[in-house]
Amino acid sequence: MRSRFHAALAQLPASLQAALPPLLADDHFPAMFSAQEVETLKNQTGLDDDALAFALLPLAAACARASLSNFNVGALARGVSGNLYFGANMEFAGSTMQQTVHAEQSAITHAWMRGEKGLLSVTVNYTPCGHCRQFMNELNSGVKLKINLPGRLPATLGDYLPDSFGPRDLNIETLLLDERDHGFTLQGDELTQAAIAAANRSHAPYSKAPAGVALELREGKIISGSYAENAAFNPSLPPLQAALNLLSLSGYEYADIQRAALAELNDAALTQWDATVATLKALGCHNIERVLLA
């Protein structure tokens, strides 16, 4: 079990403390529970879906990398599949505030990168900021998404984001977590192909500038992330952050990254290159490739 979970586990109900260790034993526990594991935990603890998500918040918050704020936020996203995905805030010392990943973004992007097709609820230990409310509005679940907060009655995103402006106002038909394939041909080595595949999945209906990042770790594992745009522009999540989020939640360190690749359009209206290079260099990775797509 990862050391960061030890203190958090002690905060959980006794029944959950007894049930979780076998699931957390792997140092690279994927920070998610499958639908079958969720049902097993519910049967062992007597908790329902919402109560289980609330109880697991300390574990999610333990995944935070809050080197700037020292303020850990945890979130859990429940998919239509029944899977439960962890999320936590991520900050990058040596980079800029704009590169930060909020806990709700983390859980949602985590679910997306794992192949989830839609979300039923997001449970978080602090009230979602406006940035995150707008990010959630990009989802195919829309304002019906259930938001669970400790000590509050269940509410929907529509309750937290009244009179919202989002993709539906701009006649966007393919929403975040919908299946998407931009049709770029896979080419090059495994890392390059992973970056292109991530670009193919990206959600970029406003700039029409899909992009994907792939990270090769020292052990040979490749982790990728796709670009997620937002109707309000600023809450958009860069592809590098999507990849770093999955890397961190899976128990790897930034020092494990030995090579990175960014795939993006050659003539796009915007580029991820400069921000990707700056953040990766701040994290100690200097072996970065750019794959230009036609």
Confirm whether 138 is a catalytic residue: no
Task: Write the pLDDT tens digit of every residue in 90-132.
Answer: 999 898 888 999 999 999 999 999 999 999 999 999 999 999 9
Report yes or no on whether pTM surpasses 0.85. yes
What pLDDT is recorded for position 174?
97
**Which residue type occupies 288?**
I
pLDDT for 2:
86
Q: Which amino acid is at 164?
A: S
CA separation, residue 55 to residues 14, 136, 148 (Å): 11, 22, 12
> What would the pLDDT profile of 32-65 be if each residue is shown by its tens digit?
999 999 999 999 999 999 999 999 999 999 999 9
Write down the pLDDT at residue 19. 96
pLDDT digits (tens, 9 = 90+) for 191-205: 999 999 999 999 999
Q: Which fold has domain 30-170?
A: Cytidine Deaminase; domain 2 (3.40.140)
Catalytic residue from among 37, 39, 104, 173: 104
Per-domain residue ranges for the chain?
30-170, 190-293
Yes or no: domain 190-293 corresponds to CATH 3.40.140.10: yes
Confidence (pLDDT) at 13: 93
Topology agreement, domain 30-170 and domain 190-293 = yes
